Amino acid sequence: MPGSRVISVSLKDRSAVILGGRGADLAVWFDTEKKKWVTSGYYPMAKLWRGLQFEPSLKSGRVQWISEAGTENFTKEAAVGSTESLTFPAMVHQTFEVAQFLTEKLKLGEQTHPDLLLISVSSHDLAGHQYGPLSPEMKDMTIKEDRSLGEYLSQLSRRFSDPKKDLWIALTADHGVAPMNVDVIKNHIQGGTIAAKTLESKMNDHLAKNKIGLCAGKPWVEKSNSFHFYFNKNCKSKSPVQRSKALQELSTFLRSQPGVEDVITTEQAEKNNFPYAYESEAKFSYVLELSGDLILIPQPYWVSDDSQNAKHITSFTYDRTVPVIFWGEPFRRTTIKGKVSVLDIAATLSFALGLVPPAHSQGQVIPEAFETNL
């Protein structure tokens, strides 16, 4: 909307940039090398941000994470700005400090046209990967995060004479996460680990046994990452027939392995022929230049053994079920029992503002969210 400003804030640079989009007026993130909140000269308000000279309440030294009373006791300590400190609730608080600072300095929401402030709380994601969703750390993080969010929203509400009319909120998450393998075992969940590196060797051995042999003098499968298996680059010069045969052999072989739900080959992807159960997710996540020649889809609660961190690479419910919450004058107090997508947020907010949804929007307006029937 002309005259409106779009501002995004996140600990992670990619989160701030993607949230704001190409047309953002300002995106701000935490630079782990400089130990400060920065932006890019790309944004129209970059010079203004640098002139504001934001000073967080916690700038240097050590930061502690002490668990709440009534939860499993633990204490952690790390240097401010270190990788470990980014998983601490203190950085959640600092993210909201930046948001509050920008709200006040830019007088967001106080002009004729509505402003859009986007906040991504990256510490929750980082801690979830590091400690797992069922860990004492994540339980404590959720309590402290809720408190920080509540304090920020209270401060925000006090800026407006009629908060419900002048302040609209949409809250969601981009993904869930699988439990750590130790929690899968502890809670008797049917699952396990898949040794991707071991599978690389087995795949090459399988091709050798089936008389496909080497590819340009080297093993076909060169590396893997997050269940994407890549052929060596010299395979591009191999005949299409031989390459197709290798893909088919390996696809069949992988499906016979423990913990494997399905396999997508690059041939399938190029023909837009994805397995029906994963069609939407696979279609939007496949990138020709980056994705593997074979993509393994694990069974529920089966994860890679190459990391102790929790993962989220599937389309199973625990990975893709997230909240979608609206608050403000147009929205009614209710719980929607049908299927709602995070893609519907842009369409729903656009409708509430009397705007056409963004050009590439694929979501639908959620009629049940509104105070009156459409």
Residue 235: the pLDDT is 80
* 125 phi, psi to nearest 5 deg: -65, -45
Please state, as a whole number, how many other Cβ atoms lie within 10 Å of the Cβ of residue 18.
17
Quote the tokens at residue 362.
């694929």
What confidence tens digit (pLDDT) does each residue in 125-150 have? Answer: 999 999 999 999 999 999 999 999 99
> CB-based burial of residue 243 (10 Å sphere; 0-12 exposed, 13-18 middle, 19+ buried)?
buried
**CB distance 196 to 338 below 8 Å:** no
pLDDT of residue 5: 96
294-299 mean pLDDT: 93
46 contacts 26 by C-beta, under 8 angstroms? yes
DSSP E strands: which ranges in the chain? 6-10, 26-31, 36-38, 62-66, 75-79, 116-120, 169-172, 192-194, 221-225, 228-231, 260-265, 294-298, 302-304, 324-327
Q: Is the pLDDT of residue 373 over 60?
A: no
At residue 307, the pLDDT reads 65
- For range 192-215, the mean pLDDT: 91
Model pLDDT for residues 230-259, shown as the tens digit of each residue: 999 888 666 788 889 999 999 999 999 999
Question: DSSP state, 236?
Answer: G
User: What distance in Å separates the CA atoms of residue 81 and residue 220, rounded to the nearest whole number?
Assistant: 42
Average model confidence (pLDDT) for the chain? 91
C-beta separation of 117 from 105 below 8 A: no
Q: What is the pLDDT of residue 279?
A: 82
Architecture of the domain spanning 192-304: 2-Layer Sandwich (3.30)
User: Rounded to whole angstroms, how far apart are CA atoms 175 and 156?
Assistant: 26
pLDDT tens-digit profile of 148-185? Answer: 999 999 999 999 999 999 999 999 998 888 888 888 88
Dist. CA 62–CA 75, nearest whole Å: 13
3-state secondary structure of 76: strand
Domain boundaries, the chain: 6-167, 192-304
CA distances 200 to 62, 171, 287, 325, Å, are: 43, 41, 21, 43
Cα distances (angstroms) measured from residue 82 to each of 30, 60, 76, 122, 128: 11, 10, 13, 14, 17
Instruction: Taking residues 76-82, report their average pLDDT.
Output: 91
Strand ranges, E, within 60-147: 62-66, 75-79, 116-120
CA distances to 34, 181, 300, 315, 320 from 177, rounded to whole Å, are 30, 12, 11, 10, 8
Reading the block at residue 195, the tokens are 């040794």
Start-end of H helices in 158-265 = 163-166, 181-186, 196-209, 240-255
pLDDT score recorded for residue 2: 76
Render pLDDT for 53-66 as a digit per residue (tens, 0 to 9). 898 887 778 899 99
> 3.40.50.620, 3.40.366.10, 3.20.20.80, 3.40.720.10: which CATH number matches 6-167?
3.40.720.10
Q: How many CA atoms within 13 Å lie on the side-chain side of 243?
A: 17
Mean pLDDT, range 330-337, rounded to an integer = 93
Instruction: Tell me what pLDDT residue 315 has.
Output: 80
